[in-house]
Amino acid sequence: MIGNMAQETVQPDYAKWLSVTEGMSYEQVARVLGEPQKSVGHARRPGEKYWLRYGHLSLKSVPHPSFYDFSILFDVDDTVTSKYDPFGGVFSMDGKPSKPTIINPISKAQYSHFPRTLDLPWQPCSGLYPITYELDLSIVYRKHPDGEWLPEWSESDEASFRRPNGPHLAISFPGAQPGRFRVRGVNSLGNGEWSEYREFEFLR
């Protein structure tokens, strides 16, 4: 298990987790991953389909109801039907944070609400925990005389970075203009790769 009990995060060995495939029996999974975690709602129920949990991320700063579990669904015959991990199948094999995938906003989203608050969630990074994040936020700040925004982004500097502990940040955007952000994970082994930029715009 890869973990840090101070954050109550427990992860299975990634290579072993990836070796679990559809059709494997409960006993075969136990030989690879060991016994499942004891938790409410995850129990072996012969004669029924059931989920078992083999690890989890404890991300107390995340305000939305996501389950960051390593879970396996077993069929009525005790064979693997499917499995779920909190990283969307992207695993770091060297312990450094994997490249994050942004969830929201959708690309080129436009907003007209005020105040200009915006939730920015992304898929958590795999790797050695604890993992924190750096978020780089920039804006387009110049308009052409005809009213069109010029594609000139503000330069990234220390003031543009936010440092959330979990894979989510709520921001208050400064103006009625285009914006973009990217994010990367950081742990004791170094910085991970930046995500792709995600662009959006506030219309007022």
The predicted pLDDT at position 41 comes to 66
The predicted pLDDT at position 27 comes to 95
Whether residue 149 is predicted with pLDDT greater than 80 in this model: the reply is no
Q: State how far the Cα of 98 lies from the Cα of 126, in Å rounded to an integer.
A: 5
Residue burial 79-103, b: 16+ Cβ < 10 Å; e: rest:
ebeebebbbeeeebeeebbbbbbbb
Same fold, 2-84 and 109-202: no
The predicted pLDDT at position 157 comes to 57
Residue burial 60-78, b: 16+ Cβ < 10 Å; e: rest:
eebeeebebbbbbebeeeb
Ramachandran sector of residue 17 (left: φ over 0; alpha: ψ -120 to 50; beta: rest):
alpha
Q: State how far the Cα of 185 lies from the Cα of 68, in Å rounded to an integer.
A: 16
Instruction: Among 17-31, 37-51, 163-177, 182-196, name the one with the lowest average pLDDT.
Output: 37-51
DSSP H or E run through 2:
strand 2-4
Quick check: 187 and 131 in contact, CB under 8 A? Answer: yes
Local confidence band at 159 (pLDDT 50, 70, 90 cut-offs): low
The predicted pLDDT at position 34 comes to 95
- Give the pTM: 0.83
CATH for the stretch 109-202: 2.60.40.10
Whether residue 150 is predicted with pLDDT greater than 70 in this model: the reply is no
Whether residue 5 is predicted with pLDDT greater than 50 in this model: the reply is no
- Compute the C-alpha angle 101/102/106, nearest 5°: 135
pLDDT, one tens digit per residue, over 79-104 is 999 999 999 999 999 999 999 999 99
The predicted pLDDT at position 115 comes to 94
Q: State how far the Cα of 99 lies from the Cα of 125, in Å rounded to an integer.
A: 7
Local confidence band at 53 (pLDDT 50, 70, 90 cut-offs): very high
Q: Give the pLDDT mean for 53-78.
A: 83
Local confidence band at 66 (pLDDT 50, 70, 90 cut-offs): low
Distances in Å between the Cα of 66 and the Cα atoms of 14, 61, 71, 103, 134 are 21, 12, 13, 13, 21
Quick check: 182 and 196 in contact, CB under 8 A? Answer: yes
| Non-local CB neighbours of 158 within 8 Å, separated by 6+ positions | none
Q: State how far the Cα of 127 lies from the Cα of 187, in Å rounded to an integer.
A: 8
Which CATH class, in words, describes the domain spanning 2-84? alpha beta
User: Domain boundaries in the chain?
Assistant: 2-84, 109-202
Whether residue 142 is predicted with pLDDT greater than 70 in this model: the reply is no
Q: Give the pLDDT mean for 9-36.
A: 96
Q: State how far the Cα of 163 lies from the Cα of 59, in Å rounded to an integer.
A: 15
The predicted pLDDT at position 8 comes to 78
